[in-house]
Chains A and B, each alone.
Chain A
Amino acid sequence: MWELFSKLVPRSTVVVLLALTAAAVAGFVVVSHLVNRFNANQQSRGRKFYALGLADLNSGNPEGAVEELRAALSCDRSNTQYQLTLGRALRDTGRLDEAQSYLESLWQRTPEDGTVNLALARVAARRGSLDDALRYYHNAMYGVWTSAPDENRRKARLELIEFLLQKDAYTQAQSELMALAASLPPDPTLELRTAELLAQAQDYADALAEYEKVLRRDRNNAAAMAGAGEVAFRAGRYRTAQRYLQSAVNANPQDPKSRNLLASTNQILEADPFVRRISDAERDRRIATAFASAGKRLTACAQQKGENLTPSGGSSAESALGQLQSRWLDTKRQLPRLRFPGEVDVPDAIMDVVFQIEQETASECGEPQGPDEALLLISRNREGADR
C-alpha cells in the first residue's frame, strides 16, 4: 500500500508529513475505539465485583469483600469509591496498616476530600490514635463533600465526639459539642442526641439547656423530659429534676429509669436539711435522722469489714472507720445543741460528720441504698458546689 502510495504521490517532505499525520489520526480513531470498548468492559466487570464486595461487606464478611473489591479495583484502578470501600473492608478485617495505606494514597490525591478524611479518621479511631483521629475528623468536618455537606460534616463531628467520649477526653468532647450545638438545625432528634452526648461528656448544665430547647418546641417530648430530669439530677438540681422526672413518669409510666431517679430525687429532697423553705424544726429533724442513719451505716459497714467498733471491740484506733466512730460519738453529744438558737455552726458540723461517714463507707463498703444513698448524693452535690 505504501509502495502504491509512493508511486502515485511525489515523495515530498510535506506529503510524507501529511501522510504520517493522516496515519496518526487513523491510529487514534482505531485505538480510541479499542480503549473505549476495553474500558467499558472493565468498568462493567468492576461494577459487578464491587457489588459483590459491597454485599459481602454489608453482610459481615469483610474477608470475602476484600478479594472482590481488589478485583474491582484492578478493573478500574482510578475508581475512588472502590478504593474507599476496599479501605473500609480492610479496616473491618483489622488490617489497619493496609487500609490506611490505600486511604492515604487517595488522600494524597485529594487531601481536601471529606469522605477520604472520614475513612482515615475511622482507621485512626480504630487504632485508638487520638491525634490522627482528631486531625482526620477535623479535615472531614472542614473538607469538601460532594453531597449533603452540612449533614456529612455534622455526622463526622458526632463520630468524633463519640470517639472522644470513648477515650474519656471530656474537655475536647465538650468543645466539639458546643460547636455542634451552635450549628444544629431545628431538629428535635439531633438536639436530643446532642443533649445526650453533652450529658455523657458530663456537661450537665448545657445538656439541660439542650433538653429544655427541645421541650420548648415540644413540651410533651417524654425522652427530653426524662433526659432533662436525669441531667438535672446529675447536676444536683433536685427540684428541677423532680419536676422533669415527674413529668417523664407521668408521660411514660413504664420508664423505670425515670421512676428510680424520681424516687431518689424525692428521697434527697426529703432528707436534705439544707433545702430552702423548711422550718428550723424540720431541718433539725432531718439532721438528727441523717445522723442516726449515718451511725447505722457506719456500724453496718464495720461489720461488713469485720471490724468491731465498740470501745472494747479492739478496733484499731488508726482505722478510718474507727476514727469516724469516735467522731460520730463525739458529735452525738452536740445533738442537743441543735435546739439552741445561737449555735449556728452546729448543723454544719453534724452534717460534715454525716457526709464524711457516707463517703468513707461508700468507698469502703460500696454504694449505699435508700436514705444513705440520698445522703451520699447530697454530700457529693455540696462538695461539687464548694468546689
Chain B
Amino acid sequence: MSEMPVPPSPETNVADSGFHFRPRRMFAAFDEVFDEDRFFLILSVFIGIFSGLAVVCFRLAIDWTHLALLGPLPPHNWRLFVVPAAAGLVVAILVLHLFPTIRGSGVNQTKAALYIFNGYIPFRTAIGKFLCAALAIGAGHSLGPEDPSLQIGASLASALGRQLKLSREKLRLMAPVGAAAGLAAAFNAPISAVLFVIEEVIGRWSAGILGSVVLSAVASVVVERWFLGSEPLFSIPITTFKRPAELLAYVVLGIVGGVAAVVFAKIIAFFRPPLKALPRWTQYLQPAVAGLLIGLIGYFGAPQVMGAGYDFIDQAMHGQYAWRLFAVLAALKIVATSLSFVSGTPGGMFAPTLFVGAMLGGAVGGIERIFFPHLTASNGTYVLVGMGVLFAGFLRAPMTSVFMVLEVSGNYQIIVPVMVANVFAYVVSRSLQPVPIFDLLTRQDGLVLPSLEEEREEAILRVEDAMLPPPAIILSAADYIDAAARRVEDSTEPSFPVRLQPSGWSIVTRELILRRMKEGKGEHSLGSLISAQPLPSLFPDLPLDAALRFVQTYPMIPVVNRANPQKLEGVISSQSVFAKYGGPGRQG
C-alpha cells in the first residue's frame, strides 16, 4: 500500500502524550482557562489560517508553473505535449524517490490518517503534494488543485498537532479539520468543504468535531479571500428557472450525468490496478506517457482538457461552445483525467469532475434546446447544474454537490433544478456502480474505511427489532408482597418488571418474592425488596447497540414509550439482543 504513510509507533508520538501543561506561575491562570477542548477550537482557527496561506501559495505555484511552461494562451506547438510529458517524468522521480505517499488525490490518504494512523500524516506529504501537484497541474495534466489542497491542509494540521503533543483523540481529529480548511480555501466555498469533509473524510455526522471543522474552514476562506479576493471561481451568467415543467430537462441531465459518472469511475477502477502492478521502472514512465497523450489531445484541437480547466468552464458558462464541442470535451476530459489519475500523478479529481459535468450539462442543454426551443434556461444554467450532477454521481457527495453549486453560483433560484438533477444522477450512479469511487480506490489499496455511503446502505438494527412483548405480569412497587406472590407463583418467568412510583422501572425475581413471603413479610410492600436506583430504560427507536451496555448487567431491560415512560412497550434481554445480532433474521 505504497500510497499510505508508514504509521509511526503510536507510543513514541501520541500514546502517552496528552496535552502537557507545564504551568509557570505567570501562565497558570491562562492554562486553567484553556482546557484541551477550548484550546482545540482556537487551534482550529490557526489551522484554517495556515491552510489558507498554504493554499494561496499552492494556487500561485500552479499559475506560475502554467505561465512559465505553457504561457497564458495555449501554445500551438510541440510545447503542448513535451511539457506535460517532461513534467510527468519529473513528478514520477520525485514521487518514487522523495514523496511516496502523495500519489492520487489525497482524500483517501486523509481518511486513512483519521481511521488508521491516529491522524498521522507526514509533513513531507504537504511539501511533496505542493510541489508535485503544482508541477503536474501547471504543466497541463488533467487534474485539479482541490484534493491536494485538502491533503496539504490535513498534513499541516497533523504536523501542528504532533508538535503540540495533542492527545491521541484530538490528534486524530486534526486531519479532517485541516482537510476542511484546505478544501474550503481551494474552492472558496466553506459550506461545501465542511459537508465534503463530513461526507467523505469523516464518513459520519459527528457533532463533536463540527465546530472545529467549521471554524477552520471559515478561517481559511477568510485568508484566501484576503489575498485572492472574494470573486467566486466562475463569473456566473444570469441563471434562471421559470417553469416547473422544465425540471424534466434537468431530470434527463441527471440521468445522463449519472451514467457518465459511472463510465468515468469504471475506467479509473479498471485501469488503475494493472498499471500499479506493472514493474517499478514503468512507474517512472507512466505519468510521462499520460502527460504526452494529454498533450497530444491538446495539440490536436482540445487544449481545453489540459490542467484544471476552470477558465474553460467559465467560457462554457458564457455560451462559447456548441453542443457537439461540449460533448467532445466531456468525453476527452474523462479520458485525459483517467490517464493522469491512473498513472499515479498527484492531483485532484474535483476540478476534472466539475469540467466533465459542465461540458455534459452544456451538451445535454444544447440538444434539449434543439428539440424544445421554448426552454427558457440559458446554456449557462445547464452548465452550472451539470457540474453538480457529476459531483453527485461521481464523487457521491450529494449534499456537497448541491451546496457547491449554490456557493459557486450564489444563486438560489437554481436550487430546485440542481437538487432534482443531482438526485437522479446519484440514484442512477449508485444503482449502476454501488461502490463509490473513493471507496473503490481505498479497497484497491487494500484498506477498508467507513463511509456515509455504507451507512446509507446499512439497515440499522434498533431496540424495537430485538424487543420482546411486555410480560403478562407487571408488578407495581406499591403492591404487597403476598399479593405479588399470588400472581407470580404459577408463572414460569424468572423475573418481572416493577413500575416504580412516581416514575421509573425496576425488576424483581420470582424467587425473591416467594422467599420473602416464606419469611413472613407478606404485608410489606414490594418496593422494600427492590433497589432505590431504577433500572435504565430504553426507547424503541434507539440503536440496538445502546442495549448492549446494559443487557449483561440486568436480566431484563424495560423498553418504554417516549411520550409516557410509565407505559411499557416491551422488554429486552441479552438473549433477544444476541439473537438479533446473530440470528438468521438479521438484516444488512
List residues of A whose CB falls within 8 A of some B CB.
Answer: 2, 10-17, 20, 23-24, 27-28, 31-32, 34-35, 38, 42, 45, 49, 67, 70-71, 74-75, 77-78, 83, 95, 97-98, 101-102, 104-105, 107-108
Contacts and interface: CB of A to CB of B under 8 A. Distances in A.
B578 interface: no
B27 A101 contact: no
A115 B320 CA distance: 23
Interface residues of B, number: 43
B187 to A, nearest CB: 16
28 contacts: A2-B163, A10-B22, A12-B22, A12-B30, A12-B31, A13-B21, A13-B30, A20-B46, A27-B50, A34-B57, A35-B227, A38-B63, A42-B63, A45-B67, A49-B72, A70-B311, A74-B72, A74-B311, A78-B229, A95-B319, A97-B379, A101-B238, A101-B380, A102-B235, A102-B237, A104-B237, A105-B237, A108-B238
Interface in B45-103: 46, 49-50, 53, 56-57, 60, 63-64, 67, 72-73
Nearest to B46: A20
B316 to A, nearest CB: 10
B231 interface: yes
A74 B20 CA distance: 50
A184 B411 CA distance: 42
A116 B541 CA distance: 59
Contacts of A31: 53, 56-57, 227
Contact of A105 (B20, B53, B164, B318): B318
A120 to B, nearest CB: 11
B378 A101 contact: yes
A101 B27 CA distance: 59
B23 to A, nearest CB: 6
Contacts of B24: 10, 12
A170 to B, nearest CB: 32
A101 B379 CA distance: 10
A277 to B, nearest CB: 66
Contacts of A34: 57, 60
B34 interface: yes
Contacts of A16: 164
Nearest to A23: B50
Q: Top 8 closest A-B pairs, CB basis?
A: A101-B318, A12-B27, A101-B237, A105-B235, A13-B34, A97-B319, A27-B53, A14-B30
Contacts of B319: 95, 97-98, 101
A61 to B, nearest CB: 16
A75 B72 contact: yes
A102 B318 contact: yes
B554 interface: no
B378 A71 contact: no
B542 interface: no
A214 B157 CA distance: 77
Interface in B29-51: 30-31, 34, 39, 42-43, 46, 49-50
Contacts of B63: 38, 42
B109 to A, nearest CB: 24
B317 interface: yes
Given A11-B20, A13-B27, A71-B73, A38 B231 contact: no
Given A35-B227, A102-B318, A24 B72 contact: no
B22 A11 contact: yes
Contact of B64 (A10, A28, A38): A38
A42 B59 CA distance: 14
Contacts of B537: none
Given A24-B46, A105-B318, A12 B21 contact: yes
Contacts of B64: 38
B21 A105 contact: no
B228 interface: yes
B236 interface: yes
A38 B227 CA distance: 11
Contacts of B22: 10-12
B315 interface: yes
A106 to B, nearest CB: 8
B480 to A, nearest CB: 62
Nearest to B311: A74
A108 B238 CA distance: 7
A12 B42 contact: no
A227 to B, nearest CB: 44
A16 B24 CA distance: 13
A192 B520 CA distance: 126
Given A24-B50, A31-B53, A38-B60, A77 B378 contact: no
A32 B227 CA distance: 7
Contact of A78 (B50, B231, B236, B379): B231
